[in-house]
Amino acid sequence: MAEILASVISYFQQLPWLELIAMLLSLAYVILAAKGSLWCWLAAFVSTALYTVIFYDVLLLMDSALNGYYLLMAVYGYWQWSKNSNNSQDDNAGLTIVSWDLSWHVKSCSGLAILAVGLGYLMANYTSAHLPYLDTFTTVYAVFTTYLVANKVLENWLYWIVIDLVSIYLYIEKGLIPTTVLFVIFVIAACYGYGKWLILYKKSAVKLQPATSS
């Protein structure tokens, strides 16, 4: 445990400021999204813009492209969340949570699984990717789940919990201990986010119930 802690401290001491800012803003995005704050998308926009440049600079072109997608989704997410906003001081004022049918999620997950297996096969056979199937799984589902966040779908947090848990295993395998710690925090934040959004969803569902006559 002491060695892991020393490794984390050493990593952050040597971490370039640009990457550190990107990591902190990425964490801020998750926490603010869990709270239902519109400002989460500003944090997402800046962090993904930084990561797009960082990954491109070290020739991680697919990661750079993925963050380019996240950059566009930050703009889309801000637009979606702000449509019903009335500039209230309440973070949750413009946040109307929706829940999509289980059958829809089953069909979506099945389609995404087929896509992930296909892309994983290509990565496994035509690239030097490490753990290509798991890596492709997290990427494909992360792209899809970001869309769910932008559309305020309650179940997005359940997807993130699974994605982050798989990512933790990947990062442990690659020896990326600080990033592993960050994703452990992401799992906790996703659990909090699901609980928070579930409460908001139930409250909004009650408000939508027709009044009963006495």
What's the pLDDT score for residue 128?
A: 79
Type and span of the H or E element at 180? helix 177-208
pLDDT digits over 14-58, tens only? 667 787 888 889 889 999 998 888 899 999 999 999 888 887 776
Rounded mean pLDDT, 1-25: 73
- DSSP lists the bridge partners of residue 98 as 153
Sign of CA dihedral 39, 45, 46, 47: positive
Q: What percent of the chain has pLDDT over 70?
A: 81
pLDDT in tens, 60-101: 566 777 888 889 999 999 998 887 654 444 455 456 889 999
Q: How far is the C-alpha of 32 from the C-alpha of 211, rounded, in Å?
A: 33
More confident of the two residues 100 and 213? 100
- The pair phi, psi for residue 177, each rounded to 5°, is -65, -50
Query: What are the structural domain ranges in the chain?
Result: 16-85, 101-214
Q: Is the pTM of this model over 0.95?
A: no
